[in-house]
Amino acid sequence: MRKYLVFFIAGVSILMYAIDATVISVAFPNFTKELHASVLLSAWTISIYFIAVTMTMPLAGNLSDSFGRKKVFLFSLLVFTGSSLACGFASSIYALIAFRFFQGIGGACFLPTASGIASDFFPESRETAIGLLSSIFGVGFVVGPNLGGWIVSQYSWRYVFYINVPIGAALICLTMMLLKKSKNITRPRVDFIGIGLMSSSLLLLLLGLNLVGERPSAVSMILAGILVFISFFLGICFLKQEKRAHAPIIDTKLLESRAFVAANVSNLIVGMTSMGLFSFIPLYAISVHKFSTLMSGMILTPRSLAMTVTSAATSFLLRRLGYRWPMVIGFITMGLGIILLTPGLLLTSAGGALGGVIGTFSIIMFLNGISAGMVFPSANNACIELMPEKVGTIVGLRNMFRNIGGALAISLITFVLHLSPDAFTGFMIVFISFGIMPLVAVPLLFLMPAGARSPRSRIPRQL
């Protein structure tokens, strides 16, 4: 019974993280007005959270494996809960941005640590446990905007942050009672130089990409290029540091593995197509198809529902089907589903009427949800299969690449829309280009672990 309660704690923490990542968009107009901020400045409440998550996740995974799940999980709960309270009390947009950064740090620790906890408590059914945790994101993506809309309309935007406080406090108490300290954990040396280089490299990379997306001008392009160049230089320094570090953040042997490289190129593409691209769906629905604001948000619901159900179902079938074929089918379906969103194809298949467009749009979004539901749990477990004794580290790196993919997609899409003569043309280019990506990436999937159809002793070699 205890292990199921611990799994419940891990699941609720991920649900909080998923809701918080989406609920901010609903509260955005209200806090922008109340705090007398510009839209451009308020957008940093979203960007800074995204940057903090991307920077922290791989470090959180490494620390979870090194220092124990309980310590890192409690730290993440304390930081997330405390910063949520501070966000609610923020008296200026600058304070809100700062507190959102710390909220991102706390939230970033949830997924790698929760995945490690699930792996520790359910070693014989790890694929199912981690897959079910992945499916919780879909629930959060459905609940977040709807719950946020109700809270903002009934109370205040501040309560979308306050609601985390009692939940976080309850999780802290339950974690202290139910989660035991990890055994056989020896306090390793901390690679502070590596942490500094990695964090700085990711921060500059994401700032550069964010700058291109916000202000696509000649000056911003030059400045972004400089930031990205410095980021790559620091990244090279980081890799050299890891080769000689006594306690490296990333085992450099992983970088020599074709399976690891293929897995994270795939994660980058998943981040671009499933995270970055779909954040523009409401804008596409409004600007091209003339949806109302309410309908533009609701059109995401079929995808989230399909993703939740399919992800849960796939999780239970992974030990029978393996990882590879759900990913292959998911990538092909994802590519075709994105191409079907192309304005000309969507309008033609719907007959041009708004009602027909809404129905066809919903079906295509449902199809995209099925593809994401097949890919996420399969890809998650395929990555972990490379180094199962380092679950936290692998999960952190996996999500780092997905987040970078999301940031890259947002910048590229914004740039294309800025240069296009109209929204119709811009989105046509975007959907065709992004639809081709997962189709081209399918051969990479055959370099990744095939799956767990046999006992764990017969799984491909560990690095």
CATH number of the domain at 321, please.
1.20.1250.20
Does the pTM surpass 0.85? The reply is no
Please check whether residues 292 and 334 belong to one and the same domain.
yes
Q: What is the pLDDT of residue 457?
A: 34
Please check whether residues 101 and 61 belong to one and the same domain.
yes
Q: What single DSSP character describes residue 457?
A: G
Please check whether residues 236 and 279 belong to one and the same domain.
no
Q: pLDDT band for 347, please (50, 70, 90 cuts).
A: low
> How does the average pLDDT of the chain come out, rounded?
80
**Domain C-terminal end among 246, 261, 291:** 246
Looking at the predicted structure, is the pLDDT value of residue 120 above 80? no
Q: Give the C-alpha distances (Å, rounded to integers) separating 141 from 257, 327, 346, 359, 414.
A: 34, 22, 24, 21, 23
Please check whether residues 429 and 404 belong to one and the same domain.
yes
Please check whether residues 442 and 337 belong to one and the same domain.
yes
Q: Are 59 and 203 in contact (CB under 8 A)?
A: no
Of residues 76 and 30, more confidently modeled: 76
Question: For 281-297, what is the mean pLDDT?
Answer: 77
Structural domain including 260 reads: 251-463
Q: Are 207 and 409 in contact (CB under 8 A)?
A: no
Looking at the predicted structure, is the pLDDT value of residue 461 above 50? no
pLDDT tens-digit readout, 219-247: 778 888 899 899 999 989 988 888 887 76
**Domain C-terminal end among 188, 206, 228:** 188
Comparing CA positions, the residue from 6, 14, 129, 105 lying closest to residue 56 is 105
Of residues 128 and 333, more confidently modeled: 333
| Helical H segments across 38-92, by residue range | 39-42, 44-67, 69-89
CA distance 199 to 24: 24
Please check whether residues 214 and 130 belong to one and the same domain.
no
Start-to-end C-alpha separation, the chain: 34
**Amino acid letter at 77?**
L
Please check whether residues 219 and 327 belong to one and the same domain.
no
pLDDT tens-digit readout, 65-93: 667 778 888 899 999 999 999 999 999 99
Please check whether residues 304 and 446 belong to one and the same domain.
yes
**Amino acid letter at 89?**
F
Instruction: Name the one residue in this structure whose structure tokens are 């990555």.
Output: 383
pLDDT tens-digit readout, 143-187: 777 777 788 878 888 998 999 999 999 999 988 888 777 665 555
Residue 336 main-chain phi, psi, to 5 deg: -65, -40
Question: What's the structural domain count of the chain?
Answer: 3
Please check whether residues 214 and 322 belong to one and the same domain.
no
Please check whether residues 174 and 145 belong to one and the same domain.
yes
Is the torsion defined by CA of 167, 168, 170, 174 positive or negative? positive
Please check whether residues 157 and 296 belong to one and the same domain.
no
Q: What single DSSP character describes residue 401?
A: H
Kindly state the tokens that stand for 389.
């004794």
Please check whether residues 256 and 226 belong to one and the same domain.
no
**Domain C-terminal end among 246, 278, 312:** 246
